Amino acid sequence: MNEKLRLIDVALENEIHEWHFYQQHSCKMHNPAGKQMFARIAEDEREHLLQLHLIHEEVSARGRWAEYSAPFVHGTDIRQFYIDIAKTSADIVPATAEDREAISAAIDFELRGYTFYHNLSRSAETHAEHVFFVRLAEMEREHFLSLKESQLYFEDPGQWVAQHEKQSLEGYGATH
C-alpha cells in the first residue's frame, strides 16, 4: 500500500473514532450547550469521514490524488454556534465531572487532528490535496477553540455569560 493511502486510512480511523465519541457524548452530556455543541461537531466529523472515503476510493483506483479533485469540506461556525447557545440558555446547568472529562478528551482529539492535517497539508503533492487538508486543519482548529470556550463556560458559567454579554455590548457601541 502506498504511503498516501496509509495516511488516508489513519485519517479515516481517527475521524470514525471522533465521530462515535461526539455522538455518544452528545447523548450523555448533562449541560444543554455542551450537548448541542457535541452533536454539531459530530455532524462535522461525519462530513470529514464521508469526504475521506471518497478520497480513499480515488487514491485506491488511481494510485495518487488527482490534481483536479478538491473535495469540498463545508466550513464550520461551531464557535459562534456554541456562544449563541450558551448565552441564550434560559437555565445555566452546571457541567458534571463527566461533561468536563469529555471536553478535555475532545480538546486533545482536536489538537491532534489539527496537527495531523496541518502536517499532511505541508507534505501534499497536489494543490487539491493541500487545499483539502488545510481546510480540515482549519476546522479542527475551530473545534479546538470552541471546546476551549466550553471548558471556560463549564468552569464558571455565570462569569462566562456575563463576560460575553459585556463583550457584545461593547462591540455594539463600537460599531454603531
- In single-letter form, the type of residue at position 126 comes to T
Nearest to 18, CA basis, from 108, 117, 96, 79: 108
* Phi, psi dihedrals of residue 77, rounded to the nearest 5°: -120, 30
User: Per the confidence metrics, is the pTM higher than 0.85?
Assistant: no
- In single-letter form, the type of residue at position 171 comes to G
Nearest to 52, CA basis, from 146, 143, 108, 135: 135
Q: Which of 83-92, 122-131, 138-147 has the lowest mean pLDDT?
A: 83-92
Domains of the chain are 3-169 (1.20.1260.10)
Q: Is residue 1 over pLDDT 60?
A: no
d(Cα 19, Cα 36) in Å, to the nearest integer?
14
What pLDDT is stored for residue 152 in this prediction? 85
**Number of other residues whose CB lies within 10 A of the CB of residue 19:** 19
pLDDT, greater one: 2 or 28: 28
For the chain, the distance separating the N- and C-terminal CA atoms, rounded to the nearest angstrom, is 59
Q: How far is CA 160 from CA 38, 49, 112, 154, in A?
A: 19, 33, 26, 9
158 contacts: CB under 8 Å, gap ≥ 6? 92
Q: Which of 60-69, 145-154, 161-170 has the lowest mean pLDDT?
A: 161-170
